[in-house]
Structure 1
Amino acid sequence: MTAGSAEVDATVVGAGPNGLAAAVTLARAGLSVRVFERAANPGGGAATAELTLPGFRHDVCSAVHPLAFESRFFREFELTRRVPFAVPEISFAHPLDGGRAGIAYRDLERTAERLGVDGKAYARLLRPLVERSTRVADFTGDTLLRIPRDIPTALAFGLAALEQGGPLWNARFREDAAPAMLTGVASHTILPLPGLATAGAGLALTAYAHGKGWPIPIGGSQSIIDAMVDDLLAHGGELVTDHDVTSLDELPNSRVTLLDVTPRALSRIAGDRMPERYRRALGRFRYGNAVAKVDFALSEPVPWSNEELGRAGTLHLGGTRAEIAAAENAVAHGTLSESPYVLVSQPSVFDDTRAPAGQHTLWTYTHVPAASRADRSEAVIRQIERFAPGFRDTILGMSSRTAIDVEHHNPNYPRGDISAGTPDLAQLLRRPVLSPDPWRTPMSGIYLCGASTTPGPGVHGLAGWHAALSALRNDFGTSALPVLATDRASGRE
């Protein structure tokens, strides 16, 4: 499959997880591939860097990877054979006042036992999804316009989402821990609560938590990126960093071009090549609210009031379901909460490569209105102190980024939107346009492959993989799935 007069068969813009997934897939199909990355190092939303003090390595965006074991792309790529992971016994935890907490063990039954009167109800809700967690990942990892291959899984998922996404979301529960746990996970979406899309995302992530767990890559998220770059280079691909692409005219002649960018950026880069009707369709794509991120270098582990919280890979702070819903709905209305929802991970508890001996890193973010310039470090510290008195005294260094800072670091996060587009139900169906092949544009050989396309945000590589498969079908005439498994050529067994 050569490209005639083309300099390379395929050009990819962006070396984040999706761009690299596309590049790896095309290189494995025997094509010559060249990747251009704006930053000095590849990674995008999965980069790792020293953000606070020397020797403290922090994940720049994503830290914990629920889809590392469940994404079909990563399963085909055999990621677990390439990257070592820590899989905490406690996938996530949800502290409540008075030293109480909801603890999500990988073992669903153990989790239910600890939830008391609500344990059976929690297990009944989650068990059908936990038992089919990989099928849930496959169903949610494709465009929702296609008829699901596994109808029973889709029905079970849909019924659970209807319950937890509507006014009856509290009907099955009597106490506060179980609903708070579900709300803490659903709030990853940065959407109002309750809602169908928040419920769906939360239920899927919770199913993965009790299925295979929420893994943490040893060495940081960059380890995932490094494995993908290694495979790309081993199969003849090229990576060019420090190269900001502002126009399609700047790229080498190639049969196909795949862009790991937002629809807004594509419109700018494509210029007059883009049909006006498609430009208008992309102009209707909506971007959402944002995150403010705070990273900490610590002298010791976080002094949680409930010691069991120290064994959790991820924590959701904010209190009860009602409190978190109030905080998230405030953001949806353009205001800041005085008691915000805070997502927390302490990877150095499981990975001693993250900090100097005896010291620790702490990763946090909270939600803010789009384009907010608010520094939320004090609000985050206060919320952590609520459940870990004395935390402030452990802080050695801190890096705080506003929503505008987040966008400046990565233009794929417009106004700080790390989802690269509101992931509500309408835009899960129309991401970025309503089409059974949303990665393909009306411009010949041009594809979108970023988080603004199906299946949406997260480190899963699926948008890039789907876009590459679409390019192989439409421009190279093959529907065969390239073999992505490890081999001797990649230098890994």
Structure 2
Amino acid sequence: MDFTSEEYDICIIGSGPNGLAAASVLAGSGLSVLILEASDTIGGGLRTKELTLPGFHHDVCSAAHPMGILSPYLKTLPLEKHGLKWIEPEASVAHPLDGESAVLLKLSLEETAKELGKDKKSYIKLISPFLKNPEGLLSDALAPLGIPKHPFLLARFGLLGLQPAKSLANSWFKEERAKALFAGCAGHAIFPLEKFLSGALGLLFSLTGHVRSWPVVEGGSAMIAKSMESYLKELGVKIKTNYKVSSLAQLPKTKAILFDTSPDQLGSVAGNTLSSSYIQRISSYKYGPGVFKMDWALDGPIPWKDPNCLKASTVHVGGKLSEIAKAESEVWSGKHPDRPYMLVVQQSQFDPTRAPKGKHTGYAYCHVPSGSTKDMTEIIENQIERFAPGFKDGILARHSMNTKDFYSYNLNYVGGAITGGAADLPQAFFRPIARMNPYTTPNPHIYICSASTPPGGGVHGMCGYYAAKAVLKKIHKLKSIRY
């Protein structure tokens, strides 16, 4: 379909969670909105497919959603009325260790701390101040730089979070159990635990597990996108799939264009309407390491040495703090770890719709250098086997994706990076570049709303929310144009 003869107030290129969130804000303000998506379904990282065998439904990218259920914006939308059902497990995280029981991150701070031996009091002292107003902290932490609503709480978080995760864990804890649990949460940062700011992710993911258990979605992560699509259609938003935009000439007459894309794609499509200095600066944007992911059709649950691991939606596999730190440092320096840090998600353990009766799905990924094509299958399966002997015997079928597969699946995943770009200094605060309003560009009609803007990666929609707010401040001054 040719949209060039039509007219909309807003055109959004890309339909990841941020593009969908932006559309809901703008359409909810009475603007006409068109979403254009290159793939045959919407969702970006929110897709679920039968990747292995019929009846086994695997999340292609995002799987467990701590930031989704806690998102200051998404939780205001009536998505449950449109088919979304969160499933919250008994524990958010299980962290297996050699020769001893696994550590579980449970909703109860006290129950979690009981498992940490001599570090019980230290863990409570570290986490409890943020649980007095976690919603306030998240609203400030998931916002662009500005005047926080809860400055003292955010300052406390910042003073701790700016530290390297390895230093923070070693200074607060004496024993390996608490250190390993914190390291597993910090590993979500996808950069070395010796780097400044890695402590923020460890702290953030640790405390979220005490606010709500990290959920999976009944029917698959695609249901988040489908529920948002249903809500957007109720608001009058028009969505067109299988429509790849390579030029602004393909777009309708519109007042504002939002790119839910990588900075690379923004430059490629709209470069001739933007200043050369802006293009030069976004071209040096750092995307960071990529991932190698595996999905399995399994004959039964993963046979963890400690069956308590089956109580958690997510299992952090990697062993001790020192092992996780070593693996993440190796990835950052361009190496492939022999014992990688991995995220394993057990959706079918809590959602029986994911697999045939009595069977299960398995999901895991590890971090690898950007652009890597190395097959990590054996390394990943050996690492799981280390803590779950007999795992390989239960594999009915497997599916893998390397960094090039991820880039082919979604052009936002440059080099296989799934978080929208490295979140180290200064990109954690200034992304895609340092600018008074990071969602704007030198062209007043063009904006960027992807995970390459603050607050970064994750299924929370906050990048799209704040980008839409930036548009609303300017929309009354903008006239419709056709490129």
Bin the TM-score by the shorter chain.
over 0.9
The aligned counterpart of 1:241 is: 241
The one-character-per-residue Cα deviations of 1:274-316 (angstroms, maximum 9, x if unpaired) are 1112112212321101100001110100011001001111010
Matched to 1:113, the amino acid is: K
The aligned counterpart of 1:140 is: 141
Unaligned segments of structure 2, at least 5 residues: 479-483
TM-score (norm 2): 0.95
> Contact between 1:99 and 1:387, CA under 8 Å: does it hold in 2?
no
Matched to 1:65, the amino acid is: H
Separation (CA, whole Å) in 1 of partners of 2:78 and 2:238: 21
The aligned counterpart of 1:109 is: 110
TM-fit CA distance, 1:227: 0.9
Separation (CA, whole Å) in 1 of partners of 2:337 and 2:111: 34
The aligned counterpart of 2:413 is: 413
TM-fit CA distance, 1:403: 1.0
Separation (CA, whole Å) in 2 of partners of 1:77 and 1:168: 36
The correspondence of residues 432-471 of structure 1 with structure 2, limited to 5 A, is: 432-471=432-471
TM-fit CA distance, 1:163: 4.9
TM-fit CA distance, 1:166: 6.2
Separation (CA, whole Å) in 2 of partners of 1:137 and 1:184: 20
> Contact between 2:68 and 2:459, CA under 8 Å: does it hold in 1?
yes
The aligned counterpart of 2:481 is: none
Matched to 1:340, the amino acid is: P
Separation (CA, whole Å) in 2 of partners of 1:134 and 1:220: 26
TM-fit CA distance, 1:168: 5.2
> Contact between 2:162 and 2:198, CA under 8 Å: does it hold in 1?
no
TM-fit CA distance, 1:442: 1.2
The correspondence of residues 56-455 of structure 1 with structure 2, limited to 5 A, is: 56-80=56-80, 82=82, 83-144=84-145, 146-163=146-163, 165=165, 167=167, 169-455=169-455
Separation (CA, whole Å) in 2 of partners of 1:184 and 1:351: 24
The aligned counterpart of 1:46 is: 46
> Contact between 1:125 and 1:160, CA under 8 Å: does it hold in 2?
no
> Contact between 1:69 and 1:80, CA under 8 Å: does it hold in 2?
no
Matched to 2:281, the amino acid is: A
> Contact between 2:89 and 2:312, CA under 8 Å: does it hold in 1?
yes
Separation (CA, whole Å) in 2 of partners of 1:186 and 1:11: 36
Separation (CA, whole Å) in 1 of partners of 2:111 and 2:297: 33
> Contact between 1:11 and 1:256, CA under 8 Å: does it hold in 2?
yes
State the SS of the aligned residue for 2:353. coil
State the SS of the aligned residue for 1:428. coil
State the SS of the aligned residue for 1:313. strand
> Contact between 1:136 and 1:204, CA under 8 Å: does it hold in 2?
no
Separation (CA, whole Å) in 2 of partners of 1:393 and 1:269: 48
TM-fit CA distance, 1:324: 0.5
Supply the RMSD in Å over aligned alpha carbons. Answer: 1.5
TM-score (norm 1): 0.93
**Mean CA deviation greater in 422-431 or 469-478:** 469-478
The one-character-per-residue Cα deviations of 1:453-475 (angstroms, maximum 9, x if unpaired) are 11100000111111111111111
Separation (CA, whole Å) in 1 of partners of 2:368 and 2:428: 22
Separation (CA, whole Å) in 1 of partners of 2:95 and 2:448: 37
State the SS of the aligned residue for 1:93. strand
State the SS of the aligned residue for 1:219. coil
The aligned counterpart of 1:490 is: none
State the SS of the aligned residue for 1:457. coil
Matched to 1:453, the amino acid is: T
State the SS of the aligned residue for 1:128. helix
The one-character-per-residue Cα deviations of 1:174-194 (angstroms, maximum 9, x if unpaired) are 210111111111111210112
> Contact between 2:57 and 2:220, CA under 8 Å: does it hold in 1?
yes
TM-fit CA distance, 1:160: 2.3
Identity %: 41
The one-character-per-residue Cα deviations of 1:348-402 (angstroms, maximum 9, x if unpaired) are 0100110111111111100000000011111111011000000001101111111
TM-fit CA distance, 1:100: 2.1
**Mean CA deviation greater in 66-75 or 406-415:** 66-75
State the SS of the aligned residue for 1:68. helix
> Contact between 1:256 and 1:445, CA under 8 Å: does it hold in 2?
yes
> Contact between 1:25 and 1:468, CA under 8 Å: does it hold in 2?
yes
> Contact between 1:131 and 1:211, CA under 8 Å: does it hold in 2?
no
Separation (CA, whole Å) in 2 of partners of 1:211 and 1:417: 28
Separation (CA, whole Å) in 1 of partners of 2:299 and 2:440: 49
Separation (CA, whole Å) in 2 of partners of 1:330 and 1:219: 36
Separation (CA, whole Å) in 1 of partners of 2:167 and 2:291: 27
> Contact between 2:180 and 2:321, CA under 8 Å: does it hold in 1?
yes
**Mean CA deviation greater in 445-454 or 167-176:** 167-176
TM-fit CA distance, 1:6: 6.9
TM-fit CA distance, 1:80: 4.9
TM-fit CA distance, 1:10: 0.8
> Contact between 2:22 and 2:467, CA under 8 Å: does it hold in 1?
yes
Separation (CA, whole Å) in 2 of partners of 1:169 and 1:103: 17
The aligned counterpart of 1:473 is: 473
> Contact between 2:166 and 2:183, CA under 8 Å: does it hold in 1?
no
> Contact between 1:247 and 1:271, CA under 8 Å: does it hold in 2?
no
| Residues 211 and 164 of structure 1, relative CA distance in 2, 3 Å threshold | farther
Separation (CA, whole Å) in 1 of partners of 2:165 and 2:392: 36
> Contact between 1:248 and 1:270, CA under 8 Å: does it hold in 2?
yes
Matched to 2:101, the amino acid is: R
Matched to 1:257, the amino acid is: I
Separation (CA, whole Å) in 1 of partners of 2:421 and 2:118: 39
State the SS of the aligned residue for 2:11. strand
Separation (CA, whole Å) in 2 of partners of 1:18 and 1:52: 29
Unaligned segments of structure 1, at least 5 residues: 479-493
